[in-house]
Structure 1
């Protein structure tokens, strides 16, 4: 099918740009990413640093308990060797292009200087209450060319007695109403502080979503859009500029489309049936015919091996760090399937990234470079067939394809072919390409010519990268 572009229109208060084109004489619409979504997908790989009061206690992290039990003494927060720049450098060594800091999590304690939240760094004896980890973090990110982002947990707050956005107390009682109003105003004030005091942010991630004011929750969307219009908003019940990939394995299904039938997602148990059914398959795969652009995030903690799943540092847990082989598998099944990968990192109670984690991140970054920085050949082009000629017959075993996602998901079906024994042989086929598709063959294919054949598209295919490699996986 041949598509002729007519015009693109931006929908008010929507995350979607719709490209209008003609197919067989009929007008069709194709969702397009906005500026922040495009930047987020092209970044491909980021990290989130989880840090909170319970890193400093002596008990194992328990989510259910931490959500409802206040920390007895917040002055246990006392990282004597704090070096946030070391955190950022370790992420950069892995190849991360952006980094996110958990400014608040379920304890409610804020890692910055807040004028509206008394339960913040101003309350500490450490550094005489003058430290600001968020400032240190964004400064380090910018120094090392990493895009900074913020993670805010407002759904639970054990200090203020908040569960699922609701302040404890007799429902609709006068005291509960007043405390709820105070909490909502405080959260909205925090969002404004973060959006106005720390420069441009790459992403704001609301843990568990941010609900919406109609449900009695803080009204955060207008604040973010007013003060950080180029920041990816993730997410509330009104808007999701990205979606959770349906698990915390770091992987998504294939195909994984960036298009989605809703411009919101809910969160876990709060998702609507259309999203939650079949084990959240829609989150993992997207919808090829979805009318909204909502790309997938694949997230996992670095310490997620051996049956562990640790978003926060625990002593003596180094065996839970993913081996390099598993990390590469995660990379292929996230970045290589059109998702943005976010890896959870865990600074320890001294204020440093543990040396074992730092070493593994460096090994991972080196392996990614080794496998993807040196293609044998690459090309780009438009149309149904993109051919790639090699200087001589060469063994190839890895293929990378990228389409111009600024124009949306145009390709619906494709084949990779190699010219062998006098004819074209199909070595791989698929459906979704999106920002990046990676295929690793279990054996080398010897050829002098390769081609990408687009079997189905909704408009003219625009391939910005078709690259081939011969890599060693051991």
Structure 2
């Protein structure tokens, strides 16, 4: 297969901006929070919604403390209760006692995000267990588009519209056939910079809700995968706890040359998002206050997702009183410290390359390279060597491609030098936007990153070496 054809597939500007966000939060909050459910039945009494202490700034501060760059709010879940005063239904906060019926959770979260420098995104469930027109074809599409339009025109810039494929029965016992293309057109018209995630053309689901990642994540995949994500039978069908921890073992390889064979003429840039919840459930349940995931587990997911050519979406559900629980806040703060500590341990080094000019690859992380490194086309094994001022004990290497030029690296080897001898520390296949290769702590006075297989001449944006916390 011609590698040049593969690297000709490039991300859009909106996909590039999304990829650079790396880590952002999901807020599942609504009627289910009040009823202690994951999936509501629909038609719940709006009087049940009255989170007296709701503080959107507290939510956003908690997410920001973890190092997140954005927040997505469940503006309406499957039960159909709207967290904003929608013009097309009375089943919303306007019919609740909260804020005297004059409240708007969407506005409060969007405003809080802006105040704290986070981007804002929306989730609008396509399934609605309250709306009478659900299952009625165009009538429900009109209703859904009306609500989508409200969310995309009233609350400022939106970085994502997160769409799942939930597709159960409505009040009349029928299922809706969603007009996805119409929904996408509305997003493109009203928020052209927003990516459409999961059941959408811009960002794909990693395949599980457990935070598991593939050994190698490729951003160039067959176009038919976009259609597969819209198929309802791949989405969650039951309100149970097993799906949230289900790891699909199939489709581990979506983008190697072998996986793309036969699809060469119909490929798309369709990068992955890794999503999971800080708790067993997606909504807050008091019984799970002791089951918040540990910092070690979350940091491990962060390294494998943000360090595995994906973005990391972590759900943090506020409690019934309208506040994120202290247990979640504490873990998020510690996670932020862990991430900052990892970044702070980047070893200062001088860079040499096998050919070409190194640019600023050795100083561009975290951040974007101003001058990526492109070796000579004839360089048989392109490599970057980072030499230190003294011997160090190192535990990870960060490598990133300039994905504006596509995804080119197919195999990379990391070597460390000690007493003049080079030994292999780690290796991987896909790199993409960013790859974090971890390994047992090793002493070295230099590290070399060799690119041994490519689809075309590589273009490297960043290389960084991380020393251990105790070295």
Instruction: State whether structure 2 residue 250 is matched by structure 1 residue 281.
Output: yes
Is 1:231 the counterpart of 2:207? The answer is: no
The one of 167, 170, 185 equivalent to 1:222 is 185
Q: Which residue of 2 aligns with 1:405?
A: 403
* Equivalent residues in 2 for 1:61-460, closer than 5 Å: 61-63=37-39, 66=40, 69-154=41-126, 156-160=127-131, 166-167=134-135, 177=136, 180-208=137-165, 215=177, 217=179, 219-236=182-199, 239-262=200-223, 263-267=226-230, 270-271=233-234, 279=248, 281-282=250-251, 285-289=253-257, 290=260, 291-303=267-279, 309-377=280-348, 380=361, 381-383=373-375, 384-443=382-441, 445-460=442-457
Cα distance change of structure 1 residues 247 and 264 upon mapping to structure 2, 3 Å threshold: same
- How many angstroms apart in 2 are the aligned matches of 1:400 and 1:216? 41
Alignment of 1:44 onto 2:36: no
The Cα offsets for residues 428-459 of structure 1, whole Å up to 9 and x where unpaired, read as 1111111211122222x222221111111122
Do the aligned partners of residues 412 and 150 (structure 1) sit closer, same or farther apart at CA in structure 2, a change above 3 Å counting? same
CA distance in 2, matches of 1:367, 1:374: 11
Contact 1:209 1:235 in 2 (8 A): no
How has the CA–CA distance of structure 1 residues 473 and 121 changed in structure 2, closer, same or farther, with 3 Å as cutoff?
farther
Distance, in Å, in 2 between the alignment partners of 1:29 and 1:386 is 21
Q: 1:115–1:27: structure 2 CA closer, same or farther, 3 Å change rule?
A: closer
CA deviations 1:48-87 (Å, max 9, x no partner) are 0001112112xx4253xx3xx2244121100111101110
Answer yes or no: is the 8 Å Cα contact 1:53–1:71 preserved in 2.
no
**TM-score normalized by structure 2?**
0.82
Cross-structure match for 1:468: 465
Deviates more, 1:94-103 or 1:191-200: 191-200
Root-mean-square deviation (CA, aligned residues, Å) is: 2.6
Structure 1 CA distance for aligned equivalents of residues 153 and 249 of structure 2: 36
User: SS at the partner of 2:308?
Assistant: coil
Deviation at 1:185, TM superposition (A): 1.1
**Which residue does 1:19 correspond to in 2?**
none
**1:346 & 1:215 partners in 2: Cα distance?**
30
Secondary structure in structure 2 of the residue aligned to 1:377: coil
Deviation string, structure 1 residues 231-284 (Cα, Å, up to 9, x no partner): 001244xx4211111111112111111121124442575359xxxxx94633x5
**1:399 Cα offset (Å):** 1.1
CA contact (8 A) 2:76 2:82 kept: yes
Aligned counterparts of 2:7 and 2:446: Cα–Cα separation in 1: 36
Assess, with a 3 A threshold, how the Cα gap between structure 1 residues 44 and 217 changes in structure 2: closer, same or farther: same
Contact 2:221-2:254 at 8 Å conserved across structures: yes
Cα deviation, residue 117, structure 1: 2.8
| Paired residue total | 416
In 1, the alpha carbon distance for the partners of 2:167 and 2:38 equals: 22
Whether contact under 8 Å (1:52, 1:107) holds in the other structure is: no
Deviation at 1:29, TM superposition (A): 5.2
- Normalised by the length of structure 1, the TM-score is 0.82
> 1:472: how far off?
3.0
Task: Give the structure with the larger strand fraction.
Answer: 1
**Unaligned ranges ≥5, structure 1:** 2-21, 168-176, 273-277, 304-308
Q: Which runs of 4+ in 1 moved over 4 A?
A: 26-29
Deviation at 1:469, TM superposition (A): 1.5
44 and 264 in structure 1: CA distance in 2 versus 1, 3 angstrom threshold: farther
Structure 1 counterpart of 2:238: none
Contact 2:78 2:125 in 1 (8 A): yes
Question: For the residues of structure 1 that align with 2:123 and 2:318, how far apart are their CA atoms?
Answer: 15
Residue 374 of structure 1: CA displacement? 3.0
Gapped regions of structure 2 (runs ≥ 5): 169-175, 236-246, 261-266, 352-360, 362-372, 376-381
Residues 188 and 469 of structure 1: CA distance in aligned 2, closer, same or farther (over 3 Å): same
- Distance, in Å, in 1 between the alignment partners of 2:214 and 2:160 is 24
Q: Cα 1:341–1:28, aligned 2, differ >3 Å: closer, same or farther?
A: closer
